[in-house]
A and B are shown apart, each in its own frame.
Chain A
């Protein structure tokens, strides 16, 4: 193995890509999910929202792996339930207010003068309920879209595949991700040690008895990790030149400009105007240029990078198309192209008076596009249970719920 292998490049180059059990590039999932989430944010059409929600669910259930991050979706669903519950509760209790179709009436609690404008109880109208329902449905589907990205994309691989300019940040986040479960383990070990000493320390002493050994352990670990990284050449291919400073400045300024553009675009109620688009465009160009420049500065290579192929493009584009369709349906000139006038009811169906909302055919297409990843990706393989102990430890699932599950030392029976 010591022989020179920098010699003749092989033709054709051997595959560096992930093998057949590969999963989709994590950023493709994020692009798709964000496209859908933004599209959903622009509409309150309940039929469309329900369809998109179902499509997202289908993709999650069919394409998620059994990795620890994929198990987080239940937390998102729980949050979604809370969102609907809380908003409904307050709408019924305090919100009433508008609409004519009274469903039922709660006893109204008279409030003193200084609370004028707030009403407790009273009429609950169909219009009020519908308004809240549509609006919270929008939030819920956005949450599901973010949950989808979380469940489908491996966060570590996503962090590995960042542009070179963000290399340092991604390294520190990855290390933090590995150190966290070790800290949990050392916390359990120290807790056992407390019992062994009799656990008589009280108050500040007790806190010290926990923190001092854990911190000492963490510091020891960090020092050995740093020594190991240094000995293996970390940071060797980095140049610290004046040009690098300029690149960083360019990146910082252009991302701020792009953020300003995005803010103007989203905050203006009517036509955003050229300033918003200008800022956004200039900012994006600056970021791309900055990332390109910084890529030359760090000569770190990637072992078997996640490939970006036709599947990734398809998934990304399907998400962006969903967004494009919704944007188009809200734009007067697009309607004009088809010789029609803008129908605001398509995206935001009126609830005054309450009518059964209609579903524009383009929205059906958009919902179908949301589910497109099912067709172009494969279900990931399941890890055999025997090899999953570390996953459980990494999430702290077994550890936090049941202290016995993580042992106070390294003596676990290996399967």
Chain B
């Protein structure tokens, strides 16, 4: 898939283990970046159900719990785990360069189709 942009998220040193951090991004939507036991992941920060920042939620194993209605998503795949979260979360591949974490924004196939 075509990578259209590489977005700097934060420094590795700014994200402790089993923490999540919200990175503002006006162009692609805010991004949540996670540190799950030394593995880094990035997803959209906005819950797919209602207005809520997932970065304000709690991490339980590899799930993020939305702070508003407690729906859950699987962090590595963005898979919605059940009502009220039925739509999967967009995920972004992550690249580490030195102390810096980047999200790779790929062309959205849905947008390409609408073209």
> Are A and B physically bound partners?
no
